Structure 1
Amino acid sequence: MKTMKGFLIGIFTVFCGSTVAKAQDIYLSVPENNILNRVEFTSVPTRVMVNPNRTNWDYTFFGLAPIAPTFTSVSGPVFTQSSSSFTLPSSTLLWQLESMGGQLPSTGFSGSLPGFQSFSTSALRWFDPPGSIIFGGGFNKGNINFTFKIPAAQFAANAYRAGNYSMDISQNYNDFTPRNFKTILVIPSSIRWLTSSLTKYIEISSLNDYRSTSTRVWDLGNTEIAHTVDFNFWAKAAANNVQFTSSKGVPGTRNIASIKLGSNGSVLTTKALSANFQNFSAANFSVVAGNRNSFTPELYVSAEDFKNNFFEAGTYTFELNFNATSTDNSINSLQNTAVQLKVLPRSEITIPSSGRNVNFNFNTAAQYTDGQSQVIPNQIILSNNESFELYVKSDENYFKKGGLQTDINSNILQIGVDGSSVNAPLSKTPQKILFNGTPVLDRQLNVRYTIPAAGAQGLVGKENTTYSINVYYSFTAI
């Protein structure tokens, strides 16, 4: 009797164990390419249930009323993240039977395969058996596979945050296992730059740009970042200095801190650049519907810094390093932009209308004996963004009377810049009157005109009338 008791207990244990089916959750890993590029996702055939025994459907009323297999969401109309309140609508995922035991069930005379559909809190048929067992039908034993799909429109319409979204599903056939399972969407953590400018070229071709009192603003083009996690926008310059090469090939540097980075809206805070990464985000960039954020970064230089640091003709270059970093610092994505600011050589000489005529009157003996000299204040306003020399010349070698040439040589008139020891005799050949000038904007010069004693004495006996000559000023870059 003791032996028989042990034998019966063993049989009972094995029999009960064979009826217990462990739930088999369905994990669908959605590739980041589909999410970020909004491209339809279609899974490989995926086992959802197993049919170890059956080969036909259940029928009632003597085989005339089929019982269709169904799925029902028992956790609600949305996929939920267990660790947060984020959800995705049931419409995000479509499914359709792919095979039973390696092939689709027979539709017989009146059965059919429903198209792709989404889970619902109402029972949805995943196959319509024939109307009667006598009309054919049936299926193979083995794995029951489904194909899952997320349409492209769903990626554009919903926010797919990294993590697992699940929905509890129940099915109605006891012989298919499991009866209950979770369908889980696995969204990876990802940040990707979709659009940004790898280079930025800026050209300055007018000196008026330096006369403006407004801050200079240059946009870096639209920047679009796709992501499944919240992130911050970090940025820095590759070096502490802007590299400069003058129009004559002379190297130099400028402090990068004179340039600020911000955006055309409020998404970025405006800060001076440095060689260290700084967080420029006004607030975290959150995952939104469509999984994309776009904005336009901008560079700013104050009017004063622009004039003081970027006036000289030449090329200014620096590199920006951008880093979109998740708020938990677990992942990041880098991007660089090379910036080139080219300032073209430009120069201007302006003589105000009040200084266009210089008159010498000889009315006394002393004026003929001693000569004359006069300074015209602020007669020349000059601008040049290169190192330069200033020259003066006449259009003829002799003064004219009534448009006709006389014998009074132009060299009796000497011209120089007030404060300089240089007095150049006027001639058709350009004479240098300012040496080694450095780049300057709107510099006012007092010009000294002299007819020395020797020249004045040469005018004795000349006809009492007006003699004139044209004077020209010019630059030469050095």
Structure 2
Amino acid sequence: MRSFLMGIFALCCGSTVTKAQDVYLTIPENNIFNRTEFTSVPTRVMGNANRTNWDYNFLGFAPTAPTFISTSGQNFIHTSSSATLPTSVLLWQLESMGGQMPSVGYYGSLPGFQSFSTGPVSWFEPPANVLAGGFNRGNINFTFKIPGAQFTANAWRSGNYSMNISQNYDFTPSNFKTVLVIPAAIRWNTTNLAKYIEISSLNDYRPAGTRTLDLGNVEIAHTVDFNFWAKAASSTVQFTSSKGVAGSRNIATIRLGSNGNELTTKPLSATFQNFSAASAGVVAGNRTSLIPELYVSAEDFRNHFFEAGTYTFELNFSARSADNSITSNQNTAVQLKVLPRSEITIPSGGQNVNFNFNTAAHYANGQTQTVPNQIRLSNNESYELYVKSDENYFKKGGLQTNINSNILQIGIDGSGVNASLSKTPQKILSNGTPVLDRNLNVRYTIPPAGAQTLVGKENATYSINVYYSFTAI
């Protein structure tokens, strides 16, 4: 009797210290970020060391289905925050009992994939008769599944999501936790490794507003809150002119921001800065999108990025968790190509220059006329300005005369150069530096020697066309 009671006492004591084995399912970040279905390997949920038959009523015709029931509600609860996931995210199905599927003879059946509920959910439907078959002793394994659509529909925050489960058979354990383990991770979903921007019009430099350069959409996948850090790889923008001459620009003339309110706008530097207006939180689908933009003031754009050539710099981006323990980096090489462009415009009011010879002094002394702002000049390369005529002689009524074009001299006000007009281009401005919308006063002169060749000419109107052109240097 003493041995029998001691055996009972030992058995009871042993059962009280048996620790429930919780089910941990680690969900790979690739499934979360790519939104692809997760399927587990066969996973031990319970153990059966003793029995081989289902529970039936005393006549053996009414089987008791084994069930699961959630005792902690309809949500998986994050263990260190207020985040939750609905129970429907996780599906499960019996895989084996003792290495084999239980017998389904005499109308037994295996239910399809199901989810936990606050009401009992059967994970196997035993045969209707006790003689129809049972199951093997050993591990009771299940296969777990999370459909891809659940990764799109829910926010999966790093950490553990737990649900308490109870089952109705004398399998071990009778109660356990099902825990979804979400790794802490950040990953760039887009790889904008290079951004090419081309400027092909002088009109891009004329507006007064800030110039905006779009770097394209950026998508970052993450299971933790993160901040957007950025810097330039160098403190200077490297420049190579259209003629192959190297130079540099200060990177601080360029500011980084976004077209929304995700980023604060700051000048770039060679030191990492946090550009986030606030940490980007974990959202449904676990992806955050934003469009970084570069800003250059109108004045800086004209002063530092007008010359034809190629401007290059590299941006280093870093998505970092709030505690800086997790980072994901991406570099983007930016190339701004400014094509050579030049333009000469003459206002409608300055297209005609008239010399009237109607006094003796006009013939004796010659004449000079200066047309203010007659030429508006733009060129984003170093240049020389030339003038020429379409003919070597003036015309009268469309017919050539013997009045030589070289009696007319043309120069730029403030310059000592006076070029005699001919069909051959003559230089009137040297070593011009890149400039936008420069107004020039043009000086036209018929000197005394040229004026005196007009004495005795028929009283009429003589004309010649004048052309201005650039030569890049």
Amino acid paired to 1:161: R
Shift of 1:338: 1.3
Does residue 1:154 correspond to 2:129, yes or no?
A: no
| Structure-to-structure mapping, 1:69-218, within 5 angstroms | 69-134=66-131, 136-174=132-170, 176-218=171-213
What is the count of residue pairs matched by the alignment? 472
Shift of 1:470: 1.3
Does residue 1:374 correspond to 2:369, yes or no?
A: yes
Shift of 1:118: 0.8
Tell me, in whole angstroms, the C-alpha distance in 1 between the residues paired with 2:133 and 2:215: 65
- Paired position in structure 1 for 2:390: 395
- Paired position in structure 2 for 1:259: 254
Shift of 1:11: 5.4
- Paired position in structure 1 for 2:46: 49
Tell me, in whole angstroms, the C-alpha distance in 2 between the residues paired with 1:101 and 1:23: 19
Shift of 1:367: 2.2
**1:236 is matched with which residue: 231, 235, 244?**
231
- Paired position in structure 1 for 2:349: 354
Would you say the 8 A contact 1:196–1:221 is kept in 2?
Answer: no
Amino acid paired to 1:153: A
Tell me, in whole angstroms, the C-alpha distance in 1 between the residues paired with 2:336 and 2:15: 77
Would you say the 8 A contact 1:111–1:137 is kept in 2?
Answer: no
Amino acid paired to 1:263: S
- Paired position in structure 2 for 1:63: 60
Q: What root-mean-square deviation, in Å, do the aligned CA atoms of Structure 1 and Structure 2 show?
A: 1.7
Amino acid paired to 1:94: L
- Distance change >3 Å, CA 196–CA 441, structure 1 → 2: same
Q: Deviations over 1:33-87 (max 9, x none)?
A: 1111111111000111111111111111222221221111112211112222111
Q: Normalising by structure 1, report the TM-score.
A: 0.95
Tell me, in whole angstroms, the C-alpha distance in 2 between the residues paired with 1:88 and 1:357: 81
Would you say the 8 A contact 1:382–1:443 is kept in 2?
Answer: yes
Tell me, in whole angstroms, the C-alpha distance in 1 between the residues paired with 2:354 and 2:4: 136
**Secondary structure in 1 aligned to 2:224?**
coil
Tell me, in whole angstroms, the C-alpha distance in 1 between the residues paired with 2:334 and 2:204: 19
- Distance change >3 Å, CA 205–CA 421, structure 1 → 2: same
Shift of 1:402: 2.0
Structure 1 stretches of 4+ moved >6 Å: 7-10
Shift of 1:17: 4.4
Shift of 1:13: 6.1
Shift of 1:18: 4.2
Would you say the 8 A contact 1:43–1:148 is kept in 2?
Answer: yes
Shift of 1:403: 1.9
- Paired position in structure 1 for 2:426: 431
**Secondary structure in 2 aligned to 1:19?**
helix
- Distance change >3 Å, CA 61–CA 16, structure 1 → 2: closer
Shift of 1:365: 2.4
- Distance change >3 Å, CA 15–CA 464, structure 1 → 2: closer
- Paired position in structure 2 for 1:334: 329
Tell me, in whole angstroms, the C-alpha distance in 2 between the residues paired with 1:126 and 1:23: 20
Tell me, in whole angstroms, the C-alpha distance in 2 between the residues paired with 1:193 and 1:445: 53
Tell me, in whole angstroms, the C-alpha distance in 1 between the residues paired with 2:264 and 2:10: 69
Would you say the 8 A contact 1:196–1:222 is kept in 2?
Answer: no
Does residue 1:307 correspond to 2:302, yes or no?
A: yes
Would you say the 8 A contact 2:20–2:175 is kept in 1?
Answer: yes
Shift of 1:14: 4.4
Percent identity for Structure 1 against Structure 2: 76
Listed as ranges, the gaps of 5+ residues in structure 2 are none
Amino acid paired to 2:418: N
- Distance change >3 Å, CA 11–CA 64, structure 1 → 2: closer
- Paired position in structure 1 for 2:35: 38
Shift of 1:327: 0.8
Tell me, in whole angstroms, the C-alpha distance in 1 between the residues paired with 2:415 and 2:159: 78
Q: Normalising by structure 2, report the TM-score.
A: 0.96
Amino acid paired to 1:395: D
Shift of 1:106: 0.5
Amino acid paired to 2:129: S
Tell me, in whole angstroms, the C-alpha distance in 1 between the residues paired with 2:371 and 2:380: 25
**2:471 is matched with which residue: 448, 455, 476?**
476
Q: Deviations over 1:285-324 (max 9, x none)?
A: 1101111111211222222221111111111111111111
Shift of 1:459: 2.0
Would you say the 8 A contact 2:52–2:135 is kept in 1?
Answer: yes
**Secondary structure in 2 aligned to 1:330?**
coil
- Paired position in structure 2 for 1:406: 401
Listed as ranges, the gaps of 5+ residues in structure 1 are none
Tell me, in whole angstroms, the C-alpha distance in 2 between the residues paired with 1:87 and 1:395: 83
- Stretch deviating more after TM superposition (99-108 or 400-409): 400-409
**Secondary structure in 1 aligned to 2:449?**
helix
Tell me, in whole angstroms, the C-alpha distance in 1 between the residues paired with 2:22 and 2:406: 104
Would you say the 8 A contact 1:210–1:311 is kept in 2?
Answer: yes
Amino acid paired to 1:119: F
Tell me, in whole angstroms, the C-alpha distance in 1 between the residues paired with 2:178 and 2:214: 46
- Paired position in structure 2 for 1:223: 218
Tell me, in whole angstroms, the C-alpha distance in 2 between the residues paired with 1:15 and 1:324: 56
